[in-house]
Amino acid sequence: PESVVFFDMASLDTWAALGGPAAIGAPLDSVPDYLADGVADDAFNAGTLFEADLVEIEAAQPELIIVAGRSAALYEDLKGIAPTVNLSSEGSFEETLERNTAFLGEVLGAEDEAQAAIDDIEAQIEDVRAKTADIGTGLSVMVAGDSISALKPSEGDYSGRNLRGGLVYDVFGVQPITDDIEAATHGEPVSFEFLEDYDPDYLFVTDRNAAVAEEGAQTAEVVLDNEIVHSTTAWENDQIVYLDPTAWYIVFGGLETAQIMIDDIANAIS
């Protein structure tokens, strides 16, 4: 297909990485800067990740529409306009990435390129896991507003809230400082004293404020710059890792995004 509309940024990422033609439509406000080249210069705004502009899409008559995750609920409305595929996560991060890359590679006639890309990503992840085995304990947190939430390993439950929250542990092998965390969409709200009490060697931070560009919200660096956090091992050893907020919170999938995530962890522990 030459005319494709994407409502899933991870799929747009992989499609572009495999040499697919630029998307003719997408929720333009949600396309990250690093994926902008995957969208045509004259692309139309297809709506948001949660709501489709059905009139605009029908007028464009795309040959294929791709949804997933946040936009999966749009499937029923969109399939009446054009062939629509739901590439929502199924299984682990790696399983979903491999499945969706293989599928898009088949659509593009780029099966060999897709397999080579997956092999490369998997090899890099294994290299990172070998290194994280020796870094001690870690805690993955999300900063939203002026509050923090602790994220937990998925423990085999790869539903949306656990898949994203558990990436640091599940994919990259970081040893969690505690498993006593509740699963929640944005993690379990915790106090700064929680960080002091558990005192992980590494603190991995996803800055939701930066990811969604929340007006007036402070950056995670500012929120965590306080006396309690200063007393932690992670702060004292300069082992607070600020993850790319767009890659880890908005997209968290796709070939280029996976590379960004790998580099975030690898650079932090090297």
Identify the domain boundary among 88, 115, 145. Answer: 88
Supply the pTM of this predicted model. Answer: 0.94
Total domains in the fold of the chain: 2
Pair of tokens at residue 2: 């030459």
Per-residue pLDDT reduced to its tens digit, 261-270: 999 999 999 8
57 and 135 fall within a common domain: no
Sign of CA dihedral 218, 219, 224, 226: negative
> CA dist 181 to 80, 223, 237, Å?
42, 21, 25
Per-residue pLDDT reduced to its tens digit, 168-191: 999 999 999 998 887 665 678 999
Q: Which domain holds residue 167?
A: 123-269
78 and 133 fall within a common domain: no
Pair of tokens at residue 5: 């509309």
Pair of tokens at residue 233: 């091992």
Q: Parallel, antiparallel, or unpaired: how do β-strands 39-45 and 84-86 relate?
A: unpaired
The CATH code of the domain that includes 234 is 3.40.50.1980
Sign of CA dihedral 220, 226, 228, 233: positive
The values of phi and psi at residue 45, to 5°, are -80, 115
Per-residue pLDDT reduced to its tens digit, 200-226: 999 999 999 999 887 778 999 999 999
